[in-house]
Amino acid sequence: MKERTVEANSSKGDLQERELQSPKGKPEVTSSGDASTAAASSVRVSQAPPANDLHEFDADVLEDFDSAHALFKDLRGRCPVAHSSDFEGFWVLTKYKDVISTLSNSDTFSTAVQNVVPRVATSGRRPPLHLDPPEHTPYRRAITPLFYPDRMAYWEPVVRRIVVDLLAPVIARGHGDICLDFSYRLPIFVLAEFFHIPAKQAEKIRDIGADFNRALQVRDTATLEQTSLFLYEVARDIIALRKQSPLDPAVDPTSALLAARHEGRPLPDEMILGTIRQLLVVGIIAPTTFTGSMVMHFARHPEHHALLKSDPSLIPAALEELLRLYTPYRGFARTPKHDVEIGGRLIRKGEPIALAFTSANRDPDAFDHPDEFRLDRPGDKQHMAFGRGSHQCAGAPLARLMLRVTLEELIARTSGFEITGPVPMTTWPEYGPLSVPVEFR
């Protein structure tokens, strides 16, 4: 049987199947476009990790909706700290306590060397993700207030309008692809508003951003470079506009970064550029695949759809449980600054370690009956869908808002879902569907 994957078609805005001789043949995602647009002082070339041929599991494989969870369940049982020679070689932590411990120790584990698996070969430094504390702190401090509860209350009606405008026509048609027709577009529309981007430029971002999202998910390197360059130009234009016409730093992220001071000095322009570019990219990815996972879950479990339909007050708790079950990130990485031992395994200085949030959130030592959807879980263990520690996702409140409103509108406007075709999946560092063809009831 020939294996299939999907590729982005940026001119048509859809996904097409194509045959592969082997999943090992998938092109490596690089960001050479990123480097060419960042200032020379901000460019870092990620070094290949130390050689390690140990191979205890296959990572670079074609997956279905359940196979990643099956792999992690197997590894948690037999080899919770495991090494694969795929993607140039990396370790993976599958247990909740090991992931939490690593995230909490930035003195030993750096995010500045390699922040995802697979490794991005060349990249501009993009705060705060690409910097360790305390270097990342001024950027984090500048943007955090924009995600406080009062700001999310302001944004909720804006987000709901966007969700309804995008979702209602798809549901009215009776069928569609929840990813291609909706969730690829939603984050771009929201971020255009969040950054107060003028309407003409926002329209371009919506189209290019969706192409970037698809290209990133399927490793279409040529389209990724082209769209990445455009996103850097967008970030540069936003900075120029805010220098000319600043907004209140309490409501505008670019103005907040430009107004920030560290040790009495402004933040470097090239690092502000990287920060805005990072916010654009991170905000695009996770909502796309996770929305597909939510629809998959309710298609498989119509009783859960009926439960929320009968009692919408349960939707916030349901969202948190779905985030635990279908965590969209499994490949955020850290690199030890010296040899370390985790779970009885020796990991050498410089070897990348993937922190599998997707696995940790189904660890039976942290969550009873971890594969079940339950709304009565005790609060002593919190899921880590958005990470933990100094690099916990700063934009998590906005992501939660987008996803909650999406779930509320999906439940209110439908009585169920039926999957009508194949569901191709993304791969490391994300988890989730690229495409979910669905019939709405």
Q: What is the mean pLDDT of residues 362-378?
A: 95
Name 153's Cβ contacts closer than 8 Å, sequence gap at least 6: none
Query: So what's the pLDDT on residue 163?
Result: 98
Query: So what's the pLDDT on residue 323?
Result: 97
Instruction: Please say whether the beta carbons of 258 and 138 come within 8 A.
Output: no
Residue range 380-437, pLDDT digits in tens: 779 999 998 877 888 999 999 999 999 999 999 999 999 999 999 988 999 999 999 9
HSE on the CB side for 421, CA within 13 Å? 15
Residue 40 in this model has a pLDDT that exceeds 90 = no
Residue 160 in this model has a pLDDT that exceeds 80 = yes
The string of DSSP letters for 244-302 reads: HS---TTT-HHHHHHH-EETTEEPPHHHHHHHHHHHHHHHHHHHHHHHHHHHHHHHH-H
What average pLDDT does the chain have? 85
Residue range 282-308, pLDDT digits in tens: 777 788 899 999 999 999 999 999 999
Query: So what's the pLDDT on residue 330?
Result: 95
- CATH code for the domain of 358: 1.10.630.10
Residue 159 in this model has a pLDDT that exceeds 70 = yes
> Measuring CA to CA, how many Å separate 311 from each of 287, 306, 335, 408?
24, 9, 45, 11
Q: What is the mean pLDDT of residues 330-347?
A: 96
Name 378's Cβ contacts closer than 8 Å, sequence gap at least 6: none
Q: What is the mean pLDDT of residues 355-364?
A: 98
Residue 3 in this model has a pLDDT that exceeds 60 = no
Q: What is the mean pLDDT of residues 30-53?
A: 47
Q: Provide the number of structural domains found in the chain.
A: 1
Query: So what's the pLDDT on residue 30?
Result: 32
> Measuring CA to CA, how many Å separate 387 from each of 64, 332, 357?
24, 9, 7
**Three-state DSSP state, 320:** helix
Query: So what's the pLDDT on residue 216?
Result: 67
What is the residue whose two structure tokens read 């194949």? 422
Burial of 360: CB neighbours in 10 Å, binned 0-12, 13-18, 19+: buried
Query: So what's the pLDDT on residue 233?
Result: 87
Q: What is the mean pLDDT of residues 325-335?
A: 95
What's the Rg (C-alpha) of the chain? 21
Sheet (strand 353-355) strand order: 81-84, 90-93, 353-355, 332-336, 109-110
Q: What is the mean pLDDT of residues 142-147?
A: 95
Structural domain range at position 177: 3-440
HSE on the CB side for 13, CA within 13 Å? 13
Residue range 173-193, pLDDT digits in tens: 999 999 999 998 898 889 889
392 or 126, greater pLDDT: 392
What is the residue whose two structure tokens read 């990643």? 68
39 or 324, greater pLDDT: 324
Query: So what's the pLDDT on residue 213?
Result: 64
Residue 263 in this model has a pLDDT that exceeds 80 = yes
| CA-closest candidate to residue 332, choices 39, 115, 144 | 115
303-342 in b/e form (b: 16+ CB < 10 A) is ebbeebbeeeebbeebbbbbbbbbbbbbbbbbbbeeebeb
Q: Are strands 3-9 and 14-20 parallel, antiparallel or unpaired?
A: antiparallel
Comparing 139-143, 206-210, 232-236, the range with the smallest average pLDDT is 206-210
Determine what percent of the chain is predicted with pLDDT higher than 90: 63
pTM of the model: 0.86
Q: How far is CA 183 from the centre of its chain?
A: 13
Query: So what's the pLDDT on residue 132?
Result: 76
